[in-house]
Amino acid sequence: MPNQPAKDSTTMLLRLPKKWKKRLHKVAVKLNEKYPEGNFSASSIARKAIIMRVEELEKEFEKSQ
């Protein structure tokens, strides 16, 4: 069935100031205008940013051990 979350995914509540939520949604709209095949959403942008930051921090912690 389309638009179903991956079996290995979970939900996370993220609180942002309203102005940042609006900015995030505007960026998603602009990305979809520029790259229509991209299917960008505020959630996909936030997810990617979180994953990239966590991976960056993990590497930093590995170096310090």
| pLDDT tens across the length of the chain (65 residues) | 567 888 999 999 999 999 999 999 999 999 999 999 999 999 999 999 999 999 999 999 999 88
Q: Are 35 and 23 in contact (CB under 8 A)?
A: no
* DSSP one-letter code for 4: P
Residue 10 lies in a domain: no
Residue 5 lies in a domain: no
| Count of domains for the chain | 1
| Pick from 42, 13, 47, 12: nearest CA to 26 | 42
pTM, entire model: 0.81
Residue 32 lies in a domain: yes
For the beta carbon of residue 10, count every other beta carbon within 10 angstroms.
Answer: 6
CA distance 49 to 24: 12
Residue 12 lies in a domain: no
Residue 1 lies in a domain: no
Q: Domain span at residue 59?
A: 18-64
Residue 46 lies in a domain: yes
Q: Which two tokens stand for residue 65?
A: 């051990």
